[in-house]
Amino acid sequence: MDKNVFVVCDRNVRALAEEIAEGRPILSIVADESHKNMDSVLMICRWLLEQGADRNALLYAIGGGVTTDMVGFAASIYKRGVRYVNYPTTLLSQVDAGIGGKTGVNLDAYKNILGVINFPEQTRILPLSLKTLPERELRSGAAELLKSFIIDNMGDNYSKAVSILSADSPDIEALGPLVEAAADVKRRIVERDPYEHGDRRLLNLGHTYAHAIEWYQHSHQTEMPMTHGEAVAVGIVKAARISESIGIAECGLADRLASDFTSCRLPVEFPCPEGLLEEALWKDKKVENGKIHFVLIHSIGNVLIKDLDDLHKYSE
């Protein structure tokens, strides 16, 4: 057994982590947005130091996107960098957060302001873990799955996904090939543009408004906040409406997406007046030189990036 392996897991998947760890040291963490901060990353680093982890250490990150983001970031800065492997256990992390090397934490409720791009040695998908997810968490991940196929709809996977996810109890086994296909969409884009200077920005579809929604909910201590995936769903529909306003998308695209998302039990309306999101929109990482690198939708399977200097004029 490799004694240089150290396991950090979401406390909700401790039992699974113990199976994977096979007796190696385990640290259970609270992995939610309110704990996605430097305090949690420093806690991981202190634990590694207490365990005697050296520069040959290998970290296992077992959990959802918050877990893989924080463990990857801790691995990037502990003793100037150690290796890590992702074991994503949620749908969202299997098709998005656990792939591509983006790591980081929030700063004062602003999403992912601190972080680095540092690729894991491997990402090991655990398909059966999806069967244990609460329904809301599964459907939250569905937003990122659908996003992948709005970007690249090879094999008409978007319609297949909507069909499966519209069921009262989605068939996890039938979803499996689509999870692999969505992960492959991200993998191929990241291989072309690992450090987000071009095409990788396409993966930010829906995220400009999603991050602003999450900032608003955290800063206003919303009692029942949207999940990340739910906020992305709202952001995608908004992106489609902006695309129609600019003349990039044909009229009706936003309504189609809203209908599809609703059938998948995803929200499509903002949880607050859009004007209240303005501050967060312009502090987003995608803002450069006074413009937002905004992802627009021409049609399902065809998206593009346009630099916009004013989103407010597209609000209804």
**Is pLDDT of 69 > 90?**
yes
**pLDDT, position 1:** 61
Domain ranges of the chain: 5-132, 135-314
CB 153 within 8 A of CB 301: yes
Q: What is the pLDDT of residues 247-268, one digit of tens each?
A: 999 999 999 999 999 999 999 9
121-161 pLDDT, tens per residue? 999 998 889 999 999 999 999 999 999 999 999 999 999 99
Give the residues across from 299 on adjacent strands. 302
Task: Using pLDDT thresholds of 50, 70 and 90, give the confidence band for residue 316.
Answer: low
* CA distances from residue 144 to 23, 76, 266, 280 in whole angstroms, order as listed: 34, 25, 11, 21
Helix (H, G, I), strand (E, B) or coil at 213: helix
- Residue 24's pLDDT is 97
Q: Give the pLDDT score at 162.
A: 98
Task: Decide: 179 and 95 in contact? Cβ < 8 Å.
Answer: yes
Equal CATH topology for 5-132 and 135-314: no
Burial class from Cβ neighbours inside 10 Å (0-12, 13-18, 19+) for residue 158 reads buried
Q: What is the pLDDT at residue 168?
A: 95
pLDDT at 297 over 70: yes
Q: Which fold has domain 135-314?
A: Dehydroquinate synthase-like, alpha domain (1.20.1090)
Contact 133, 90 (CB under 8 A): yes
Q: How far is CA 187 from CA 71, 95, 181, 190, in A?
A: 20, 9, 10, 5
CATH of domain 5-132: 3.40.50.1970
pLDDT, mean over the chain: 95
